[in-house]
Amino acid sequence: MKELKIMDCTLRDGANVVGKGFDADLTRMMLEGLIESNIKTIEYGNCLGLGAYEADHSIAPLTDLEYLELAQPYLNQAEIGMFMGAKNTTAGNIELAARYGLNFLRIGANAGDGECAKEGIRLVKKNGMVCRYSLMKAYILPPDELAREAKMLEACGLDEITIMDSAGTMTPDEVSEYVDQMSAAVQIPIAFHGHNNLGLSVANALAAQKAGATVFDTGLLGMARSAGNCATELAVAAFQRKNMMHDVRLYQLLTFIEDKLAPAMEKYNYRASVSPLDLIYGMAGCHSSFAGRFEQIAKEKGVPLYPLIVKVSAIDRKNPSEELIRKIADGLK
């Protein structure tokens, strides 16, 4: 099976929930939380991308230069890059990103407008960076036309291409068809970026993987524009439930969310629709009526709650006894 990868977009698309970008403290917190959880492909910066602060009056808490300087201590720990609208793919913007050591730039344009990005792709590659590309509003073209556009962009030197469900309108069968046709047209990795307007973002990510996609755009707590992106933690849990993506440290990610990120987002009145604990119940197949028993024993024994629930449920999901929970808890000490 091909290696699967999360492209965490919280620090770019997710910043729409607070304005046009996150401040320095939240940016550092999330970079560190993601890296420590072994999620190491990260898109960050201004919501509208590199160059948008000046060109599009997209005024974030930090300028592009300040975001670039902030990321310097983390560049040797992860693949860190920025989004860039096709109209902002100037030599100056691209050279700035290269000078500050970004791993990648991801150029974005609406499906059907790829011609305007060809020179930008070549410039990114000329400057020694990985070039990704987002086919925004991918659903406005039928699958065969989108696949032909992807093939044309691949010929410019592109390293990876993203099918972006910008309105969250696609269904799993549609996602499968788009990825399937694109897989037949290009050799480069295919990514999928799903919004959650129909509540199908996780199902769509799973369908994309089954059809051949290997990279999945997500946002912590589901943070992104409109109804949000596929939540990073939900995507990882769903893939691990299917026995994939075990390189991500899910328990560490959930602890980071519960202890640091969720409290930090309270001042913005933002909270996830699924809590880390409820996610664990779903992943483990554990009925929440057993919550009190698990929480009491975890506290009494001084062991982490999440793996206790998962390990016990792997043995008995019907009616886990106090004796079984205590026995597994002793093994976790």
The 10s digit of each residue's pLDDT in 117-135 is 999 999 999 999 999 999 9
Q: Taking residues 313-319, what's their average pLDDT?
A: 97
Q: What is the CATH number of domain 276-332?
A: 1.10.8.60
Alpha carbon distance 90, 55 (integer Å): 11
Nearest CA to 51 out of 107, 25, 89 is that of 89
Alpha carbon distance 151, 207 (integer Å): 22
Q: Residue 99 corresponds to which tokens in the numbers above?
A: 């000078």
For tokens 């409109």, what's the residue? 226
Q: Residue 191 corresponds to which tokens in the numbers above?
A: 């990514």
Q: Is the dihedral of CA 301, 303, 308, 309 positive or negative?
A: positive
Distances (CA, A) of 233 to 91, 145, 310: 36, 33, 16
Q: Please, where in the chain does CATH 1.10.8.60 lie?
A: 276-332
Alpha carbon distance 177, 185 (integer Å): 13
pTM over 0.95: yes
Contact by Cβ (8 Å): 165, 136: no
| 56 confidence band (pLDDT: 50, 70, 90) | confident
| 333 confidence band (pLDDT: 50, 70, 90) | confident
Alpha carbon distance 81, 129 (integer Å): 9
Assign 218 to helix, strand or coil.
Answer: strand
Instruction: Identify the pLDDT of residue 304.
Output: 96
CA 99 to chain centre: 26
- Domain 5-268: CATH class, spelled out: alpha beta
pLDDT digits (tens, 9 = 90+) for 151-210: 999 999 999 999 999 999 999 999 999 999 999 999 999 999 999 999 999 999 999 999
Task: Give the helix/strand (H/E) hosting 104.
Answer: strand 104-110
Q: Please, where in the chain does CATH 3.20.20.70 lie?
A: 5-268
Alpha carbon distance 139, 234 (integer Å): 24
Computed over every residue of the chain, the mean pLDDT equals 97
